[in-house]
Amino acid sequence: MPTFEIFPGPPDTPSNFSVQYLTSSLISLQWRCMWCNGYEQTVKVRLVDITTNTELGTQYSLLIWRCYNLKNSTLFQRNIQPERSYEASIWSTNPYGSSDVVKLIITTPKPVKFIVSPSNILIEEKEATINFLILDSNLTLVRLNVTCCVEVTAGCSKKSYILSSTDIQIQYDNLPTGTEYVFDFIVFDTDGYTYEYNLAVVKSVRVSTVPSAEEGGSTTDTSKAALVKTVKRTLVNSLCRLKYFIEKYTQTL
The predicted pLDDT at position 191 comes to: 78
The predicted pLDDT at position 91 comes to: 97
In this predicted structure, the answer to whether residue 210 has a pLDDT above a threshold of 60 is: yes
C-alpha dihedral (212, 217, 222, 228), degrees to nearest 10: -30
What is the tens place of the pLDDT at every residue in 143-184? Answer: 999 999 998 877 899 999 999 988 999 999 999 989 999 999
The predicted pLDDT at position 8 comes to: 76
Q: What residue spans of the chain are helical by DSSP H?
A: 222-252
Q: What is the layout of strands, in order, in the sheet containing 121-124?
A: 121-124, 127-131, 169-172
What is the tens place of the pLDDT at every residue in 17-48? Answer: 999 999 999 999 999 998 887 788 999 999 99
Give the Cα-Cα-Cα angle 83, 88, 94 (nearest 5 degrees): 165
What is the tens place of the pLDDT at every residue in 54-65? Answer: 999 999 999 876
Q: What is the pTM of this model?
A: 0.74
Query: How many CA within 13 A on the CB side of residue 193?
Result: 0
Yes or no: say if 169 and 239 are a contact pair by the CB < 8 Å rule: no
Query: Regarding predicted confidence, which is higher, 182 or 241?
Result: 182
CA distance 43 to 55: 17
The predicted pLDDT at position 35 comes to: 87
Q: Is 7 left (phi over 0), alpha (psi -120 to 50) or beta?
A: beta
Tell me which of 45-49, 185-189, 234-238 is least confident.
234-238
In order of start, what are the domains of the chain with their CATH numbers? 15-107 (2.60.40.10), 113-252 (2.60.40.10)
